Amino acid sequence: MDKACPNNIIGEIELGTKILSTGVLRRHSDTSFLTVEAMNADPDSFRSVTVQMFDWSSGSPVILPMIDPSTILIPPSQYRTFRSLALPPTVFTYEVRIVHPKDKDVVVSTFGLSALDFDPQTGNNAMQHDLARLSLK
């Protein structure tokens, strides 16, 4: 079931976090799933990361369902994956938003997959330095 989203889509944001966005991207014809990899390089502390994925095909954001929980507490020196369910054929534009700590110990990347069993697409990715920082109020 589609859910239309209010302006403050992420909801309550904790102090000491930042919101990153891919912006609205056109879907490649081979993209079946959206994926985010989040790495916690801190050797001692857990870090919380939240991911939301949106279908912008109607001109307004609609939440895309995910396989994995949208918020994960990542243990020290580990990474976690956030994946969408298979994208409906009607999705032709999408956005990924990531809420994570402002510290430099968490690094994220996002990319499209042709198949859920790890088939990343060349050039269909965004590294953390490619993401825009949002200031939602």
Q: Would you say residue 46 has pLDDT above 70?
A: yes
pLDDT value at position 17?
81
pLDDT value at position 3?
45
Q: Which residue has the higher pLDDT, 14 or 61?
A: 61
Residue 97, Cβ neighbours under 10 Å: how many?
Answer: 23
Architecture per CATH, 17-132: Sandwich (2.60)
Q: Are 98 and 51 in contact (CB under 8 A)?
A: yes
pTM attached to this predicted model = 0.83
Q: What is the mean pLDDT of the chain?
A: 84
pLDDT value at position 135?
83
Q: Are 125 and 112 in contact (CB under 8 A)?
A: yes
Q: Would you say residue 49 has pLDDT above 50?
A: yes
Q: Would you say residue 21 has pLDDT above 80?
A: yes
Q: Would you say residue 48 has pLDDT above 50?
A: yes
pLDDT tens figures, 93-134: 999 999 988 888 999 999 888 876 666 666 666 777 778 788
7: Cβ–Cβ under 8 A, 6 or more apart, which residues?
A: 136
Reported as a pLDDT band with limits 50, 70 and 90, residue 1 is very low
